[in-house]
Structure 1
């Protein structure tokens, strides 16, 4: 199948598929006589894997390290788990930051009349000076 068909099947844009190939997240895709990429099941599975790991928040750099370990003939389980643990920690930190922001906004909503209105009035006064 071509890149457009693979894009439809995986939900990954054609540009992203080309980027994944360029970055080594998926193997180099064979081309037909016309120079068009010919994507097989192996490549589709790699595209889907990369998409899932990116959706889990993994950076391109970390994903490349992980995939290199997967492709290595050695048993890299320890390092692969380490990368996954690092990813969990990073996502938990992002979650905590998001939760802090949500709590802050909820506080602002709950105290809009007695806090936000006064703060906004102060900001307007400062703009007049």
Structure 2
């Protein structure tokens, strides 16, 4: 699959895909006879994984470390698992913070809506 197709499929700019490959976030992508990147299904799974993890806020450095451990083989399974557990813990904490922020926003919005409704009610009163 050409880089343009991967870019479109995952909605990631081609420059970003090249950057991810250059820094080791996506393992080396093979090239065809014309030296054009030729993404395999495995490469696409890496792109999907990276996109998912980045959208959840995982730092690039952590993902580079994960890919490096993966490339070292099965002896790093435990280290990879621990890395993912730590990231899950941090993500859960961020989600809890976001939940509290959402609740506060909902509260503030409700207060404004209540205030607007009361103001409109007052403005609609007939003059006596």
Same fold, judged at TM 0.5 (above): yes
Q: Which digits, 9 at most, give the CA deviation of each residue in 1:3-49, with x for residues without a partner?
A: 11222334433122111101101222233454322222332222222
Match of 2:121 in 1: none
Q: Which deviations, in whole Å up to 9, do the C-alpha atoms of 1:86-125 show, x marking residues without a partner?
A: 111211121122122122222223433899xxxxxxxxxx
1:76 aligned counterpart, secondary structure:
helix
Corresponding residue number in structure 2 for 1:108: 108
Report the TM-score, using the length of structure 1 for normalisation.
0.72
Question: 2:53, 2:33 → 1: CA distance?
Answer: 33
Measured in 2, the distance between the counterparts of 1:113 and 1:36 equals 56
Alignment of 1:60-71 (within 5 A): 60-71=60-71
SS of the equivalent of 2:75 reads: coil
**Count of residues paired in the alignment:** 115
Q: Distance in 2 between matches of 1:58 and 1:32?
A: 32
Preserved contact between residue 3 and residue 14 of structure 2 (Cα < 8 Å) = yes
Root-mean-square deviation (Å): 2.5
The runs of 5 or more residues in structure 1 that have no matched partner are: 116-129
Check conservation: 2:27, 2:67, Cα contact below 8 A. Answer: no
